Amino acid sequence: MCASPSHNASPSELSDKTPARGVAPGSYRELLLVAVFVVFTSFTFFLIQYDRMRTAGSGLDALIRNTLAGILPAPDQYRIGLSLLMRFLQLHAHIRPEQSLPLIEFLSYAFALMLLYLLFRCSPQAENATDSHRLVLLGFFFAAAQFPILWIFPWERWEALPTTFYLAAIVILIVRRSRIPFALVCLLAALLSLGQALMRAEVPVALGIAILLSAAMNIPFPRPRSHIAILGLFCVAIGGAIQLYLQRIAYPNAAYSPTTPRFQLLANLDLIHPPLHIPIFLTALLPLIVSLVLLRRHHLPLDPSDKLVLLICLVYLPVWVTMGLVVEVRIFVPFLFLASPTIAKLWTAYLFNDVNGTPPHRSASLR
């Protein structure tokens, strides 16, 4: 649970030690503004997507039918999760795919933003921030959470926002103090990883590897080290098992298109064709790159959740560069969303010259 102020402190002590009670973690005003932000951004996305999908009914129906029939080329053939869900909603809730897809994306986006805010709110840097410090933190979080959405509309993939929700949910299960029994946490992680593996199986595998590395590095999470390792093994095992099932049993005849190599590393290293893929790649990663440079040069503080998030991004980055085209930023969009609280904290720490978690006095903080 997030820390709360002592009820035994006198008013003068509270005013001296906690000058930011008006924007304290979980305060009514902050929660109201965050709710407005989440509702506005997610509902706007829903309205735009719903309008775009109005004329896509026949195309969506054909794509779902072809996916479930097993006639798509690899790797698209292995991404059957959302097709199964939309077909289920069509048969049992009478919601057409052009309606259910925007709804699924809307719910994934809204819940992912709420989980990312929860991850941001419960970090020590946010809990202990002064008034001005916390307002800047919150502003940078709002901004960083908007950067990735710019890469969704032109090159959308159905699974981008559900994957964002999956990453945020697993990280919350690991880093947040909770009274949920560990067996239930394992069940939730297994169900989430199963659903994600049916959309993009490499994500739970990469996430599990990052979690195992965090356990090996002994990052101080609220849960025991052995529990963290078990959760990492769950993610890796479920993602790998589902991928093997789809490739070897469910769709053994699915083959890569002659124009689509299994590994894209050589194409990504080609600086001539396409000519703009490196600038696009660097532009998309610019907020994360800037954050890593600031972290390295100025020794900015990192809490355990930040270390895990950066580890997840750095583990998946070579997977993206090796297996997918770097011009397809949509592949990495969920990880950019996941990094938004960490980016906000690092940028604020740099702005206030916060070294090793000890911000200077106000008079020196903006020099």
CA angle at residue 47 from 86 to 102, to 5 degrees? Answer: 15
Query: Per-residue pLDDT averaged across 186-211, rounded?
Result: 96
Using a pLDDT cut of 70, give the percent of the chain over it: 88
User: Considering the domain boundaries, does residue 204 fall inside one?
Assistant: yes
**CA 153 to CA 57: how far, in whole Å?**
18
Q: Tell me, what's the pLDDT at 177?
A: 82
**How far is Cα of residue 94 from the mean position of the Cα atoms in its chain?**
31
Number of domain units in the chain: 1
**CA 255 to CA 237: how far, in whole Å?**
24
Radius of gyration in angstroms for the set of CA atoms belonging to the chain, rounded to a whole number: 22
User: Considering the domain boundaries, does residue 6 fall inside one?
Assistant: no
Helix then strand then coil, % of the chain, to nearest 5: 70, 0, 30
Task: Say which DSSP state 331 is in.
Answer: G
User: Considering the domain boundaries, does residue 268 fall inside one?
Assistant: yes
User: Considering the domain boundaries, does residue 255 fall inside one?
Assistant: yes
**How far is Cα of residue 154 from the mean position of the Cα atoms in its chain?**
19
From 277, 284, 285, select the one nearest 314 (Cα to Cα): 285
More confident residue, 167 or 257: 167
User: In the predicted model, is pLDDT for residue 179 greater than 90?
Assistant: no
Q: Tell me, what's the pLDDT at 109?
A: 96
User: Considering the domain boundaries, does residue 355 fall inside one?
Assistant: yes
User: In the predicted model, is pLDDT for residue 363 greater than 60?
Assistant: no
Entry pTM: 0.89
More confident residue, 334 or 358: 334
User: Considering the domain boundaries, does residue 292 fall inside one?
Assistant: yes
Task: Say which DSSP state 73 is in.
Answer: P
The amino acid occupying position 305 is S
Using alpha carbons, list the distances in angstroms from residue 21 to 198, 302, 333, 344, 363.
44, 24, 34, 20, 21
Q: How confident is the model at residue 164 (pLDDT cuts 50, 70, 90)?
A: very high
Contact present, 220 and 304 (Cβ < 8 Å): yes
Query: Per-residue pLDDT averaged across 219-246, rounded?
Result: 95
The token duo for 51 is 């309008």
User: In the predicted model, is pLDDT for residue 9 greater than 70?
Assistant: no
Using a pLDDT cut of 90, give the percent of the chain over it: 65
Q: Tell me, what's the pLDDT at 239?
A: 97
Structural domain boundaries, residue 231: 26-365
User: In the predicted model, is pLDDT for residue 362 greater than 50?
Assistant: no
Contact present, 53 and 60 (Cβ < 8 Å): yes
Q: How confident is the model at residue 112 (pLDDT cuts 50, 70, 90)?
A: very high
Q: Tell me, what's the pLDDT at 41?
A: 94
Q: Tell me, what's the pLDDT at 11?
A: 47
User: In the predicted model, is pLDDT for residue 349 greater than 70?
Assistant: yes
Q: How confident is the model at residue 14 (pLDDT cuts 50, 70, 90)?
A: very low
User: Considering the domain boundaries, does residue 139 fall inside one?
Assistant: yes
User: Considering the domain boundaries, does residue 14 fall inside one?
Assistant: no
What is the four-CA torsion angle of 310, 311, 316, 318, rounded to 10 degrees?
100
Q: Tell me, what's the pLDDT at 265?
A: 83
**CA 248 to CA 235: how far, in whole Å?**
20
